[in-house]
Structure 1
Amino acid sequence: MVFLREALVEAWADTAEMLPLLFLLFLLLEAFQHRLGAGLSVHLERAGRLGPLVGAGLGIIPQCGFSVLASLLYVRGLVTPGTLLAVFLATSDEAVPVMLAQPGKMGYIMPLLIAKLVLGIAGGYFTDLLLKRDGRSLGRAPVGGGAVLRRPTPGEHAHRVRAATLVYHAAHQTLHIYAFVVAAATLLNLGVKLLGLSGVSRVLLTGSPLQPVMAAFIGLIPNCAASVVLAQLYLEGALGFGAAVAGLAAAAGLGLLVLARHNPLRDTARLLGLLFALAVAAGLVLPSRPWVL
């Protein structure tokens, strides 16, 4: 119990300074999402053969819920499988705001985003080539005639919203994500106290070629906590660069749940298999040593 309290105090001390900056970032993202979210979906839907390129470019924007939007467009038959996976591979859910909220780690962000952007584009075109589908339409009717999917989706806001609402949403998201950050830091500190640095390294497979595989499995958890924990572990030096890319590339968040709910099981399993394989392949090819600009 003493170790847990000490680990929690240390985690709070290490992360408290990021709270105001994290709130500011989420406030800006909320405003961006409400003003431009629907426009982004239109660009993605009209991309055609440029779908994977556009999908990866839009996915790299740290906008909450974009993977959900891409999944809904896919099950409607409006984007190709490659475009969907380009968004999944490029998006980082809440990982980018978490990293941006720690100014001392700014140099870690750009190489990670570049790697995920390239992976998203390459993986998207590879997927379309592999599945021999291209163009805007997949040539099939939307699941359930599209009726279940016509309600507003995350990222689409056509109405004006009050400033107080934006502040409330940003504050709620800040506290939600910060709780995951503190939890990850606490567990890491607790592990160091109980197991030592070598013990934590063994648990996280540090230096092992299997670490990207483990990270990709964590990334597949359909919750923003997965990307937050992976980002924090990378910034703490517990995950290598390749493993961080693998984990965050697989971290498509709630988009995976939407796909599982509205898409045929066989097609969903195939897409998840490709997502996992591409994420792991990138993690194995990239070096474990962090790239810092």
Structure 2
Amino acid sequence: MASEIVDIFVFSVRDSYLQVSAFVAVTVLLFSYIQYRTRGKLTAKLGDNSRIQPLVGALLGLTPGCGGAIVMMPLYIRGTVSFGTVVATLIATAGDSAFVILALAPEAALYSYGITFVTAVVFGYAVDRFGLGVGRVDRAVSQLSEPMTDGGASVSVIGRSSNPAHAYEGPSPGHSHDTGPDRSSPILTPLSHALHAVWWLAAAAGFVIGILYLLRGAPDIPLVFEGSFDGAFTVVGLTGTTLSVYLYLVGRHYIGEGEIGRARESFASLYGTFQHAAMETSFVTVWVLAAYLLYEYPVALFSLDIAAVAAAAGVLAPIGGALLGVIPGCGPQIVLASAYAQGGIPFSALTANAISQDGDALFPLLAIDKKAAIVASIYTTVPALVVGVGLHLLWGPLFGFGVLAG
């Protein structure tokens, strides 16, 4: 048992980086670079044009991986975008499971994510325009636990189309300054900058290895240290997560440019842009690792078969897919996507899961505003159940639809 516990930990440390973080790093860097080149004009325009916010949120959420959706959450915390935009973004988010489906079942991905995108846009605008009971849900969730902030003030969405997001004025948790390092050390300062550079080498290598891994069908990779793909997978994964933990716990104090859960207006330099993307990704990596462990340990301890549960007969299949999507992170969703590619679950369950899942984008919101995260999860699960069950009743289970032969 002790050996199994250690193995799960090591495998989670390795896999979390290559299955999630490397893709997050690229997408967050892309958005940050756009911010750098436009000097923050993109965020400013988005804040000034509330009518397009849910549409933009859905487009960002639609990008494979979670990076596009992750960058939207801090904008809500700041009051730049509406709660409907958060809902649209999270509904459209297919997380890292999108890479699996795009590689193994591209036709299914086209239809599933097309349906997801339309659902995201419609539901996002409906929340902003009509409220859809957000105020009641917000108050109900308030009875469960006190949020770290004011909970998003989502009650104000009802009956009006203006920006309902709250203005979060408090400091970012775990980060007490706005820009630049808050500590200096003749050893840790240069070391942190050096490890930051190594981190990006690991991220670049991890991105390539991660794509190759998904193109191979996301197989089980043994934990080996040798001159092979499996060896590179192991070394890069362990290195990337280890460096991410260091940057999150120690390095950010000596580098700066990593306001946790906050979006920057712009960046003073290209190097600062890379620093910010690395710090934000490191923050997500720590959360993803925690989610992997919380998922893997119960599965091993109780011998749970998540894919079998999601593949329940009849209309329970899309319901199971939608409920599985409530779990934050991409690990369970990757399992479900792989099960679909192997003919284990129907198309209705895949689409319901794509709508319901929030991927890693929910972690920044959970860290800063738990109540808003819970309310948002509720408002992504409801349309998932409706659309998933509707697809199942209209067209049946459709096992293996769009899966590539081979």
Task: Output the TM-score relative to the length of structure 2.
Answer: 0.51
Correspondence list, 1:1-293, <5 A: 33-37=28-32, 39=34, 42=43, 44-102=46-104, 105-128=105-128, 129=130, 130=132, 131=134, 132=158, 135=161, 137-138=163-164, 140-142=166-168, 144=170, 168-172=202-206, 178=213, 181-183=218-220, 203-263=309-369, 265=371, 267-287=372-392, 288-289=397-398, 291-292=401-402
Q: 1:93 to 1:146 in 2, by over 3 A?
A: same
Q: CA deviation at 1:206?
A: 4.0
Q: Tell me, yes or no, if the aligned pair for 1:47 and 1:136 is still in contact at 8 Å.
A: no
Q: Could you say what secondary structure the match of 1:137 adopts? A: coil
- Measure the CA separation in 2 of the matches of 1:163 and 1:110: 37
Q: Tell me, yes or no, if the aligned pair for 1:116 and 1:249 is still in contact at 8 Å.
A: yes
Q: Note the alpha carbon deviations across 1:72-123, whole angstroms, 9 max, x for none.
A: 2112221111110111011111122223333xx3222211121111111112
Q: 1:115 to 1:163 in 2, by over 3 A?
A: farther
Q: Tell me, yes or no, if the aligned pair for 1:216 and 1:279 is still in contact at 8 Å.
A: yes
Q: 1:236 to 1:73 in 2, by over 3 A?
A: same
- Measure the CA separation in 1 of the matches of 2:337 and 2:46: 27
Q: 1:106 to 1:167 in 2, by over 3 A?
A: farther
Higher Cα Rg: structure 1 or 2?
2
Q: Note the alpha carbon deviations across 1:247-270, whole angstroms, 9 max, x for none.
A: 1222212222222221252x4333
Q: Could you say what secondary structure the match of 1:276 adopts? A: helix
- Measure the CA separation in 2 of the matches of 1:101 and 1:72: 30
- Measure the CA separation in 2 of the matches of 1:58 and 1:257: 16
- Measure the CA separation in 1 of the matches of 2:306 and 2:332: 18
- Measure the CA separation in 1 of the matches of 2:99 and 2:86: 23
- Measure the CA separation in 1 of the matches of 2:95 and 2:178: 22
- Measure the CA separation in 2 of the matches of 1:46 and 1:90: 22
Q: CA deviation at 1:127?
A: 1.9
Q: 1:203 to 1:95 in 2, by over 3 A?
A: closer
Q: Note the alpha carbon deviations across 1:175-206, whole angstroms, 9 max, x for none.
A: 6784993359xxxxxxxxxxxxxx99974444
Structure 1 stretches of 5 or more lacking a match?
Answer: 1-21, 153-161, 185-198
Q: Tell me, yes or no, if the aligned pair for 1:181 and 1:229 is still in contact at 8 Å.
A: no
Q: 1:240 to 1:148 in 2, by over 3 A?
A: same
Q: Tell me, yes or no, if the aligned pair for 1:46 and 1:136 is still in contact at 8 Å.
A: no
- Measure the CA separation in 1 of the matches of 2:385 and 2:178: 35
Q: CA deviation at 1:136?
A: 5.7
Q: CA deviation at 1:63?
A: 4.4
Identity %: 25
**RMSD of aligned C-alpha atoms?**
3.8
Structure 2 stretches of 5 or more lacking a match?
Answer: 1-17, 36-41, 135-157, 180-195, 222-304
Q: Could you say what secondary structure the match of 2:55 adopts? A: helix
- Measure the CA separation in 2 of the matches of 1:264 and 1:91: 19
Q: CA deviation at 1:281?
A: 1.3
